[in-house]
A and B are shown apart, each in its own frame.
Chain A
Amino acid sequence: QSALTQPASVSGSPGQSITISCTGTSSDVGAYNLVSWYQQHPGKVPKLIIYEANKRPSGVSNRFSGSKSGNTASLTISGLQAEDEADYYCCSYAGSRTLVFGGGTKLTVL
Chain B
Amino acid sequence: EVQLEQSGAEVKKPGESLKISCKGSGYSFTNDWIGWVRQMPGKGLEWMGIIYLGDSETRYSPSFQGQVTMSADKSLRTAYLQWSSLKATDTAIYYCVRHRLFCTRVVCRLDYCDSWGPGTLVTVSS
Contact = CB atoms under 8 A, between A and B. Distances in A.
Given A1-B63, A34-B102, A103 B113 contact: no
A91 interface: yes
A59 to B, nearest CB: 12
Contacts of A97: 50, 59, 109-110
B112 A1 contact: no
B111 interface: yes
A36 B113 contact: yes
Contacts of B66: none
Given A48-B112, A51-B111, A97-B59, A89 B95 contact: no
A57 B44 contact: no
Nearest to A51: B112
Contact of A1 (B62, B113, B117): B62
A99 B118 contact: no
Given A34-B110, A51-B111, A99-B110, A89 B45 contact: yes
A104 B44 contact: yes
Interface string A1-26: 10100000000000000000000000
Contacts of A98: 47, 49, 59, 61, 110
Interface in A65-93: 87, 89, 91, 93
Contacts of B95: 45-46
Contacts of B110: 34, 93, 97-99
11 contacts: A1-B63, A3-B44, A34-B111, A89-B45, A91-B112, A93-B110, A93-B111, A98-B110, A99-B61, A99-B99, A99-B110
